[in-house]
Chain A
Amino acid sequence: MDIVVCVKRVPLTEEVDLVIDEQKKGIKKDQLAFVLNDWDNYAIEEAILLKEKHGGTVTAITVGNEDDEEVLRRSLAMGADRAVRIEVGDTSRFDSFGISKMLSRVVKDLPFDLVFTGVLADDDYCGMVGMMMAEQLGIDHANMVTAIEIEDGKARTTSELEGGLGEVSLIELPALLAIQTGINEPRYVSILGIRKAAKKELKIMDLSDLGIPDEELSPRAIIDEVYLPPETEGAQILAGDPDKIASDFVEILTKKGVME
């Protein structure tokens, strides 16, 4: 079972004040910490679990600069066998369509039974690279996958639907599966583990290696402007010392009739 997993490095934005950049096309990232996209962490873990059960290889791929290699090293430390970074300079020149084309081009030349992506990336929330790749590669697919069993050369998958329903399908391989969070419990990675994994192969390719003409990568969807959410009335904030806050809290609950 050879599995390719597409991963992305994203900024941590929870409990952080985000500042819009001068061009109003994105946010200032120099003060932010970066991590492996949560969905991709589950995707890597799932690939490694399948490899442990069925044998084969796991390859992690990302599009990005040298800093983005951090998520590849992490993937290698978790148990991936090799990694590929596609160097394109400034990634913000490309949209999801362009990124999917590059990834598909590289995946095409690798042996694979399964390709995994995360359902979404925690930064732009687009969630389209995976399924675009499936179409470009001409393979079948499933979205929001929360369980995978391999049986007789097919994948039995459960996809998460709205309202607590799962959809079970049987899919021919090769296939692309977009992995949902919660499918497994991603393993812990130590600093030492990451250092040890430095010996594993990390291949760097650039756009000329891919041989995709520039015009085929030009963005179809363009961010005109980013801005802070429009002001709303918002919540009435309970202020004061903890005792005052607690009194107000109880008063609200009493008024709403849930203190009996």
Chain B
Amino acid sequence: MSELFVIVEHRLGEIREITFEMLWKAGELAQEHSHTVTAILLGHEVNPIAESISDRADKIIIFDDERLKNFNADIYKEAIAGLIEESKPTLTLIGNTSWGMELAPCLAVRAGLPLATDCIDIMFKDDKIIAQRQMYSGKIFSNVSFASSAGYILTIRSGVFSKDRIGDRQAEIVKKDFPLKDVPLKKDFIEFVETAAGDIDITQAELLVSVGRGIGEEENIPLVKELAEALNGVVSCSRPIVDKNWLPKYLQVGTSGKSVSPKVYIAVGISGAFQHLAGISGAGTIIAINKDPKAPIFRTADYGIVDDLFKILPVLKDKVLETKKG
């Protein structure tokens, strides 16, 4: 019997959903293998956050300090490394988020433990731990095992596990003195800024026609806009289109953009990276148009059109206009 650590992620006083998802998976593994679940919560004035997970962990270790008001990977790393040394948890789960991706590799080096990132499942197999991952934009899956170690660190992809409570737990709250009160910080938090503000709110649209890398060139974007106009829909896009400055950030769907929930989502030339799929899980019906029949988007979409965009988009537009007229 051993502990499974879950590092609680929270931002601006609110717990992040990835925390519930990690607690669900840890809870499931704990049930099957008689481990216990320990949530690690660093922050300032975080009692409400502890309460929100008190029936999902066996223990919550809290470091509450003014200096922990904002996330700082270096401080988190030192504090968590100390706890790992003390308790030797079999697993330490961290969200594969912007913050978690910064923290986990530093912690793995600091604590001398193996790390697998962006895991989509965890299995115990004959005392060995196997992490399931994806490679090559989701076209290939892999099972990763580890050199023998006292513990392992895994970062968990958002949205792959349930947010529900699992099992019946009542957490013992352990408040610890923050050990790093006097360590000088090399990184100062300045502020949060809104990076995706704009005139059009794609989260309210009933129909989105969304464009991705498959459109090839900026001058082809009007093909998509015309289809959206014919349908009285709104144009949105995937990340590569924003990276290339072809459309503004506020039209971006996905993890780093917006989560949308239209009745119909038409994905044009979008391969379906998981960061994008995470943003359309609330869509009613997904229609994907892509030249590559192996594109991961077809695994998620309800309907697919496998064709050359430049041939099929004008035909679709004309048919829509013709139907509306008639």
Interface residues of A (CB under 8 A from B): 11, 13-15, 17-18, 20, 27, 96-97, 100, 119, 122-132, 134-136, 140-144, 146, 156, 158-172, 175, 178, 181-182, 185, 218-230, 232, 234-238, 242-243, 245-247, 249-250, 252-254, 256-259
Apart from A15-B291, A130-B105, A242-B312: 14 A-B pairs, beta carbons within 8 A: A14-B213, A122-B137, A123-B135, A125-B117, A128-B105, A135-B106, A143-B98, A160-B195, A162-B16, A170-B190, A171-B187, A223-B142, A237-B306, A245-B312
Query: Is the CB of B83 closer than 8 A to any CB of chain A?
Result: no
Q: Which residues 265-308 of B have a CB within 8 angstroms of A?
A: 271, 284-288, 291-296, 298-307
Q: List 16 A-B pairs, Cβ < 8 Å.
A: A126-B117, A132-B109, A135-B105, A143-B99, A162-B255, A168-B191, A172-B187, A220-B147, A223-B143, A232-B299, A235-B302, A237-B293, A245-B307, A250-B316, A252-B285, A258-B206
List A contacts of B16 (CB < 8 A): 162
Q: Are A221 and B263 in contact (CB under 8 A)?
A: no
Q: Are B73 and A141 in contact (CB under 8 A)?
A: yes
Could you tell me the distance between the alpha carbons of A170 and B185 in the complex, rounded to whole angstroms? 10
A-B pair count, CB < 8 Å, reads: 291
List A contacts of B240 (CB < 8 A): 181
List B contacts of A144 (CB < 8 A): 98, 101
Of A100, A123, A136, A162, most B-chain CB atoms within 10 Å: A162
Would you list the 6 A-B pairs with minimal beta carbon distance, nearest first?
A: A164-B196, A182-B243, A235-B304, A246-B319, A131-B105, A220-B114
Q: Are B192 and A165 in contact (CB under 8 A)?
A: yes
- Residues of B in contact with A, size category: 35 or more
Q: Are B312 and A182 in contact (CB under 8 A)?
A: no
Query: Is the CB of B258 closer than 8 A to any CB of chain A?
Result: yes
List A contacts of B244 (CB < 8 A): 182, 185
Q: Are A142 and B263 in contact (CB under 8 A)?
A: no
Could you tell me the distance between the alpha carbons of A141 and B311 in the complex, rounded to whole angstroms? 47
Give chain A nearest CB distance to B223 CB in angstroms: 14
List B contacts of A253 (CB < 8 A): 207, 231, 264, 320
List B contacts of A221 (CB < 8 A): 114-116, 131, 144-147
Query: Is the CB of B141 closer than 8 A to any CB of chain A?
Result: yes
List A contacts of B97 (CB < 8 A): 161-162
Of B133, B142, B145, most A-chain CB atoms within 10 Å: B142
Give chain B nearest CB distance to A129 CB in angstroms: 8
CB < 8 Å neighbour of A224 from B144, B187, B258, B287: B144
Q: Are A224 and B130 in contact (CB under 8 A)?
A: yes
Of B73, B74, B98, most A-chain CB atoms within 10 Å: B98
Could you tell me the distance between the alpha carbons of A218 and B149 in the complex, rounded to whole angstroms? 13
Q: Are A242 and B303 in contact (CB under 8 A)?
A: no
Q: Are A237 and B233 in contact (CB under 8 A)?
A: no
Q: Are A222 and B145 in contact (CB under 8 A)?
A: yes
List B contacts of A18 (CB < 8 A): 136, 139-140, 294
CB < 8 Å neighbour of B305 from A96, A237, A258: A237
Could you tell me the distance between the alpha carbons of A146 and B257 in the complex, rounded to whole angstroms? 14
Could you tell me the distance between the alpha carbons of A250 and B322 in the complex, rounded to whole angstroms? 10
List A contacts of B139 (CB < 8 A): 13, 18, 228-229
- Judged by DSSP, the binding face of A is mixed
Could you tell me the distance between the alpha carbons of A129 and B131 in the complex, rounded to whole angstroms? 19
Q: Are B115 and A246 in contact (CB under 8 A)?
A: no
Query: Is the CB of B56 closer than 8 A to any CB of chain A?
Result: no
Could you tell me the distance between the alpha carbons of A172 and B186 in the complex, rounded to whole angstroms? 6
Query: Is the CB of B172 closer than 8 A to any CB of chain A?
Result: no
List B contacts of A223 (CB < 8 A): 142-144
Q: Are B136 and A131 in contact (CB under 8 A)?
A: no
List B contacts of A162 (CB < 8 A): 16, 97-98, 158, 255-256
Q: Are A236 and B190 in contact (CB under 8 A)?
A: no
Q: Are B256 and A125 in contact (CB under 8 A)?
A: no
Could you tell me the distance between the alpha carbons of A27 and B140 in the complex, rounded to whole angstroms? 9
Query: Is the CB of B173 closer than 8 A to any CB of chain A?
Result: no
Known: A97-B115, A220-B149. A235 touches B288 (CB 8 A): yes
Could you tell me the distance between the alpha carbons of A191 and B195 in the complex, rounded to whole angstroms? 36
Minimum CB distance partner of B243 in chain A: A182
CB < 8 Å neighbour of A235 from B134, B245, B298, B323: B298
Could you tell me the distance between the alpha carbons of A196 and B139 in the complex, rounded to whole angstroms? 37
Query: Is the CB of B199 closer than 8 A to any CB of chain A?
Result: no
List B contacts of A14 (CB < 8 A): 137, 213, 271, 292
Could you tell me the distance between the alpha carbons of A229 and B303 in the complex, rounded to whole angstroms? 19
Give chain A nearest CB distance to B40 CB in angstroms: 19
Could you tell me the distance between the alpha carbons of A150 and B280 in the complex, rounded to whole angstroms? 37
Could you tell me the distance between the alpha carbons of A132 and B105 in the complex, rounded to whole angstroms? 5
CB < 8 Å neighbour of A256 from B131, B140, B285: B285
Q: Are B118 and A126 in contact (CB under 8 A)?
A: yes
Could you tell me the distance between the alpha carbons of A220 and B146 in the complex, rounded to whole angstroms? 5
Known: A123-B136, A162-B256, A221-B146. A242 touches B315 (CB 8 A): yes
List B contacts of A230 (CB < 8 A): 141
Q: Are B193 and A165 in contact (CB under 8 A)?
A: yes
Query: Is the CB of B249 closer than 8 A to any CB of chain A?
Result: yes
Query: Is the CB of B108 closer than 8 A to any CB of chain A?
Result: yes
CB < 8 Å neighbour of A182 from B104, B242, B303: B242
